[in-house]
Chains A and B, each alone.
Chain A
Amino acid sequence: GAGVSQSPRYKVAKRGQDVALRCDPISGHVSLFWYQQALGQGPEFLTYFQNEAQLDKSGLPSDRFFAERPEGSVSTLKIQRTQQEDSAVYLCASSTRQSSNYGYTFGSGTRLTVV
């Protein structure tokens, strides 16, 4: 597609429920990133993929968060046993470059609300 597509756009989860957020990057983009953006804050890094390899997951806040990109294209961010503090917008970004020296293309995000 023309841009990075994320689904769903909105997700309401009950505390303790598992959720899966999907990202379709721009076709051919090697690098894929997940960021978490709390209300009124800047995006915070979660994890980075180069093709199917997860090269950096240092930003994942706990072992309840898990990301995968099995075929080097679509990625899924999974959050198990959601907590209220997980409420945020989850942004996916992709880049044709292997280095973060260049700007990313972001999707519109998934707004997760945990009640």
Chain B
Amino acid sequence: EDQVTQSPEALRLQEGESSSLNCSYTVSGLRGLFWYRQDPGKGPEFLFTLYSAGEEKEKERLKATLTKKESFLHITAPKPEDSATYLCAVYSGGYQKVTFGTGTKLQVIP
């Protein structure tokens, strides 16, 4: 069974203080690793898909990287509007279900 573990559970940063969120995964054969952002009272918003170790993707202040065992979401010089819960998820093919982690709740303080 696919498993996803995210750390830390919560992270509080000062505006401009860069940091990384971690996603460790166990799957039988990774077909895709996803990062989503979720604001309170909203559904998850798709950010990135990574397919193979060594791959990187960027969007504004966010950069996602992937190794064979984990993924990192790097946040460079965050702003208060980056405050949200960031969810990591994996897809291993076969059945269509995607397995999510419990998320990292990020708070960026002005």
Contacts and interface: CB of A to CB of B under 8 A. Distances in A.
Q: Which of B41, B43, B98, B99 has the most CB of A within 10 A?
A: B43
A106 B43 contact: yes
Chain A binding surface, main DSSP class? loop
A97 B48 CA distance: 16
Nearest to A111: B41
Interface residues on A, range: 20 to 34
Interface stretch (A12-20, A36-44, A75-83): A36-44
Contact of B31 (A40, A101, A107, A109): A101
Nearest to B91: A100
B97 A108 contact: no
Contact of B43 (A4, A56, A100): A4
A72 to B, nearest CB: 16
Contact of A42 (B32, B48, B101): B101
Given A42-B101, A56-B95, A100-B91, A91 B49 contact: no
Given A42-B87, A101-B49, A93 B97 contact: no
Interface string B24-63: 0000000110101000011111111101000000000000
